[in-house]
Structure 1
Amino acid sequence: MNALVQADSLPQRRISHRTRGHGHGPITRLMSPSDLGQWLKPFVFLDTFSIDREAMSALADMPLHPHSGIATVTVFTEGEARYSDPELGSGTLTYGGVEWMRAGSGVWHGKEISPGDAPRMQGFQLWLSLPAELENAEPVSCYIEAAAMRHAGPAHVIVGSYQGVQSPVPAPADVNYLLVTLKAGQRWTYRPPTGHTVGWLALAKGGLQADGFIHNGEMVVFETGEAPIALHAAEGEDAVFVLGSAMPHPHDLHLGYYSVHTSAASLEQGERRIAELERTLKASGDRYTAVGTIPVFR
């Protein structure tokens, strides 16, 4: 086990909750809209995935499925994935690269990326609940490769703005989402913007000392507030994690099977649009690309 390290000398933001989630095959669900998402909104869902070459067929078996009212953010901590879309181009996502999909009024997806040549693919998929003015807006998809993403110290700024660095991802305001690698033994302190009282992190590799030790595979929730989050990577292995902070989402969550909205009326509108899209999708025929992906249907 990695050796424990001493906490940062700054006053420490307390951890209020820990979870290792629930695994199903190569995917572990750390948060959903019916549990931690109620407390961490606009962050409402988080999966971590770790798929080796023998299990790559699990991606091919994943069915197309719908969403409305949310945005999804997929980042990779190891390996690579290919994307191909007649409207958006084609390329490869590696560490720090992002798939952003604002489902808004409704989309069907699930096969828009395929594994690359690396022996293992690891990463996170996050859902953000959208503000009322965007939850039934036109869908938006984009793929941003690692070279186009920006850094603030050891952090890739995936969503939002941190230390004067603005992410190219077209996300709503008042949400930060970072992908961070700390070298073994390295210290780093996250100072949330004013009003960002929601804070959490999920650790993909290594170990971290914060308010107690955070183990590989854990998600921790920090107490409500704007105090800094001081972190220290354990010796022996780099620590790789995602960290989110935000202003709290001011609405109750109205949940469909694949949808999250701010009201019953907006949920009904989103689910009605999803059903309309399904009928159109079934009539659209074979939409596979040359690399075996199916672009997001919106």
Structure 2
Amino acid sequence: MNSLSARLHENVRRISHSTRGHGHGPIVRLMSPSDFGQLLKPFVFLDLFETDLRLFGSMPLHPHSGIATITVITEGNLRFDNPDSGTGLISYGGVEWMRAGAGVWHGKELSAGTSSRVQGFQLWIALPAELELAPVDSQYLEADAMPHAGPARVILGDYQGVRSPVRAPAGITYLLVTLAAGQRWEYQPPAGHEVLWLSVSRGTLHSPEPILEGELVAFEHGNGALTLEAGEQGDAVFVLGSAVPHPHDLKMGSYSVHTIVQALNTGEANIQRLGERLRAQASPVSGTRSIPIYK
């Protein structure tokens, strides 16, 4: 056993599944509700995106219900311009949170910032039954508003006594972490958080198994600690999620995830009505300016 394996072997949380996803232009889809989302629910969807900001803004307006979306930036920045939240830049550690609840249309609320390129993750979580048809809720939080504990920005939930300002459901922790080359870090999930996964946007980790750039790995269910060490070639940047398992089978539509069929039908009817209103009010859109979410 080499020295790295020996140092990490003392507290191993083994990888059960891994994927490099499927690329769609500037987006790599690492998790969907029909694949890894079944294993890792309430985490049901994860995209890793990286693009030249001259091309940013090609995402069409589209609907959701029953979920929340969380966008974090790992390199570069994006601009928000919202009547309720003002204007600002979301850079490393900043967050866009949107609880779709009973129904929303979105996709253009963020626009090009000051950087030439941007990289980040968009995550969906399946909402609990009491929130899956709740009113829409959104937050835009710049990096200096987000707390950290050591090398981890606390995006959702609590970690080491530090609480995120994002209005997320209980039982979920989501971190954005950067480890310097060779740096070691341990994550102890909160009680009941049997679901655990991470995805690397830059660099390499050892757990002691290697986890490579662009990879999503799921760990065996349990509550044991996870010990990680960054590779020697440079910083490792990754997101990590842990949660109490979602107790419901996923009821899925094209853009919706709910706990029961009746809630799915209600959510899809709501977003259809919203879509009809949106099309009736729509005016031609030019450039890459922000368009507030439609609710």
The two structures have a TM-score, normalised by structure 2, of 0.96
User: C-alpha separation between the residues in 1 aligned to 2:97 and 2:229?
Assistant: 30
Task: Give per-residue Cα distances to partners, 1:92-149, cap 9 Å, x unaligned.
Answer: 0000000000000000000110121212100000000000000000000110000000
Match of 1:180 among 177, 182, 197: 177
User: C-alpha separation between the residues in 2 aligned to 1:93 and 1:128?
Assistant: 20
- Structure 1 residues 1-298: aligned runs within 5 Å: 5-6=4-5, 7-53=7-53, 56-57=54-55, 59-286=56-283, 292-298=289-295
Instruction: Check conservation: 2:189, 2:242, Cα contact below 8 A.
Output: yes
Paired AA for residue 91 in structure 1? G
Instruction: Check conservation: 1:287, 1:294, Cα contact below 8 A.
Output: no
Paired AA for residue 264 in structure 2? L
Query: What's the offset of the Cα at 1:291?
Result: 7.0
User: C-alpha separation between the residues in 2 aligned to 1:173 and 1:86?
Assistant: 28
Query: What's the offset of the Cα at 1:245?
Result: 0.2
User: C-alpha separation between the residues in 2 aligned to 1:26 and 1:80?
Assistant: 16
Instruction: Check conservation: 2:9, 2:208, Cα contact below 8 A.
Output: no
Task: Give per-residue Cα distances to partners, 1:145-201, cap 9 Å, x unaligned.
Answer: 000000011000000001100000000000000000001000000000000000000
Query: What's the offset of the Cα at 1:11?
Result: 1.7
Query: What's the offset of the Cα at 1:9?
Result: 4.9
User: C-alpha separation between the residues in 1 aligned to 2:35 and 2:286?
Assistant: 37
Please give the secondary structure, in 1, of the residue aligned with 2:74.
Answer: strand
- Aligned length, in residue pairs: 292
Task: Give per-residue Cα distances to partners, 1:20-45, cap 9 Å, x unaligned.
Answer: 00001000000000001011000000
Structure 2 residue ranges without an equivalent (≥5): none
Structure 1 residue ranges without an equivalent (≥5): none
Paired AA for residue 81 in structure 1? L
Please give the secondary structure, in 1, of the residue aligned with 2:245.
Answer: coil
User: C-alpha separation between the residues in 1 aligned to 2:182 and 2:119?
Assistant: 23
Task: Give per-residue Cα distances to partners, 1:249-269, cap 9 Å, x unaligned.
Answer: 000000000000001000000
Query: What's the offset of the Cα at 1:90?
Result: 1.1
Query: What's the offset of the Cα at 1:282?
Result: 1.7
User: C-alpha separation between the residues in 1 aligned to 2:22 and 2:76?
Assistant: 23
Paired AA for residue 165 in structure 1? V
Task: Give per-residue Cα distances to partners, 1:194-239, cap 9 Å, x unaligned.
Answer: 0000000000001000041111111000000000010000112000
User: C-alpha separation between the residues in 2 aligned to 1:278 and 1:291?
Assistant: 21
Query: What's the offset of the Cα at 1:279?
Result: 1.5
Paired AA for residue 32 in structure 2? S
User: C-alpha separation between the residues in 1 aligned to 2:269 and 2:285?
Assistant: 26
Query: What's the offset of the Cα at 1:286?
Result: 3.5
Instruction: Check conservation: 2:77, 2:112, Cα contact below 8 A.
Output: yes
User: C-alpha separation between the residues in 1 aligned to 2:21 and 2:117?
Assistant: 21
User: C-alpha separation between the residues in 1 aligned to 2:283 and 2:148?
Assistant: 39
Instruction: Check conservation: 1:84, 1:289, Cα contact below 8 A.
Output: no
Instruction: Check conservation: 2:8, 2:208, Cα contact below 8 A.
Output: no
Instruction: Check conservation: 1:8, 1:187, Cα contact below 8 A.
Output: no
Flag as ranges the 4+ runs of structure 1 deviating above 4 A: 287-291
Q: Percent identity, aligned pairs only?
A: 59
